[in-house]
Structure 1
Amino acid sequence: MPFATNDDVSLYYESVGDGADTVVFVGDVGFGSWQWGWQHRAVVGPFESVVFDHRGVGRSDTPPGPYSVDDLTGDLSAVLADAGVSRAHLVGAGLGGVVSLALAHDSGRVRSLTLVGTGFAGDPMDAFAAPDDEAALRASTGRLLSDAFRTEQTEVVDQVVGWRSQGDAPERVWRAQTAALKGYEPPPLYEVTTPTLVVHGEADLQWPVADARDLAEGLPRGAYVGYPDAAHLVGVERSRPVNDRLVGQVESHSGSRSTT
């Protein structure tokens, strides 16, 4: 099992596929790797896919918190180095989007960005529920999905609740990760010239949709795509169109085509 190391923190990751370009998925606050089940399958084959556990999640180490964006960006850099990835396409959700954007600003190792459910103006996501409290997990998950999806896709909701009970971080880690977002000042957006696709569910209760639009507009090479009535887990609710957009983003800025 591959592990990268950032200082004394061991970070678990998985690499699948052997495509010319690598897509690295950077997760949201507190979630296990289940969150990338839909998008991971879409890129494996034409591209290499790397999924890793943030510090405090899954098989990665759990150092004392609070954590910072710099801590998490260092973790991402360590995973890239250990996996032998010189330049990557980053797909970040929520906290992972913030971390991905920070790395793109600070290094030339990012070919493209896809930021899902990401913003800076709202309060950090607060969807923690104790893994052994099914009712709380179900209520928490409900805040991340639209009413229509919860009604029409009950089996998927049940799966997500089950996966969260097994793979999400404990409360102390959730709070330590959330601390990275509180008061964080993003880099000047005009300095991030990486081609960026901002994907947002327009019924997201965690990050305001206006902030996602502002994020896309503030980036020199930003583009926005919104999905009306989808909530924070837009990659679950609108997996097919989101996957199509993601693959198109990567293909458009692959190693053989990219001008960056």
Structure 2
Amino acid sequence: MPTAHNGDVELYYETEGPSDRETVAFVEDVGYGAWQWGWQHAAVAGPFESLVWDNRGTGRSDAPPSASRRAESGSEAPGPYDVETMAADLEAVLSSHGVRKAHVVGAGLGGMVALQYALDHSRARTLTLLGTSPGGPRARPTPTDVREQLLISEKSRDELRESLRPAMSEAFFAADPEEVVEWRLAEDAGPAAQRAQFAAMDAFDASDRLYEITVPALVLHGTADRVVPVENGRSLAEDLPRGELREFEDGSHLFFLERSKDVNDELLGFLDEHAEQDLE
């Protein structure tokens, strides 16, 4: 079981595909485990090396409290977290695995981590940003009622299932995604860590620094995203110096699960275009 360390925080990761190929590192959304990337991870592994890891507070990675929380209240509850620290977690994982350059793919909170990673560290070759936001005062926030539906008070089958409702299309949810619920039970963050990750998302603001991110960036967004409204993706693509936008008509927040073939075609085409090595 490969692990990396950022300070005293242990971070679990795993890879698939040829180790002599360029690495594609996936960063999951708020509260979700690495199951989220199952539809893309398998498609990428082969022409590339695919790397998935568990964010702090999620899956097999540690869920630490901050030093300030421990000092002030003695609480061992997870968080609060911030995106800068989570970007440093990604750096620890890539360094541990010996990655020189990586194509970083992030959804929601994971997209924010990818943006921060490109600002703070030097290993990012490209960014692919799905259903994410630059943050800041001009961003369209998650509506309050949607946030309440996403939050869980316990990690139970019923709550995990119902909290998928605002992130999926009605048709996909009606198909009764019990397999996804099982994966969530095994890999997702618990309630406290989920809230700690939401706090990181809420505090994030890269809106005034996007001009510094000069790597190629592909922005993918569903036009019916209730969690991160599509206006965020549009402004993100416009403000990134090498940003390009692909919208998925009527796509939900988890459009990359629901429309995995189309998303994978976009992703692999983008990665192929910007890969350093010959993939023939």
What's the counterpart of residue 62 of structure 1?
63
What's the counterpart of residue 6 of structure 1?
6
* CA contact 1:28–1:94 (8 Å) conserved in 2: yes
Alignment partner of 2:186 out of 166, 184, 187: 166
Greater CA drift, 246-255 or 131-140: 131-140
- The number of aligned residues is 254
Q: TM-score, normalised by structure 1?
A: 0.93
What's the counterpart of residue 30 of structure 1?
31
TM-aligned CA distance change 1:132 to 1:69, over 3 Å = closer
Alignment partner of 1:250 out of 271, 274, 280: 271
Q: Structure 1 residue 69: deviation in Å?
A: 1.0
Q: Deviations over 1:198-257 (max 9, x none)?
A: 011111111110111010011111000111111100110110010011111111111137
Alignment partner of 2:113 out of 99, 111, 132: 99
SS of equivalent residue, structure 2 residue 220: strand
2:127 counterpart of 1:113: yes
Unaligned runs of 5+ in 1: none
Q: Deviations over 1:34-66 (max 9, x none)?
A: 100000011011110110001111111111010
**Partners in 1 of 2:194 and 2:235 — Cα distance?**
27
Q: Structure 1 residue 131: deviation in Å?
A: 5.5
- Taking the TM superposition and a 5 Å limit, the aligned residue runs for 1:117-156 are 117-119=131-133, 120=135, 121-123=139-141, 126=147, 127-130=150-153, 132-151=155-174, 154=175
**Partners in 2 of 1:45 and 1:130 — Cα distance?**
39
Unaligned runs of 5+ in 2: 66-78
**Partners in 1 of 2:121 and 2:202 — Cα distance?**
23
| Percent pairwise identity | 49
SS of equivalent residue, structure 1 residue 250: helix
What's the counterpart of residue 42 of structure 1?
43
**Partners in 2 of 1:132 and 1:105 — Cα distance?**
34
What's the counterpart of residue 192 of structure 1?
213
TM-aligned CA distance change 1:171 to 1:132, over 3 Å = closer
SS of equivalent residue, structure 1 residue 118: coil
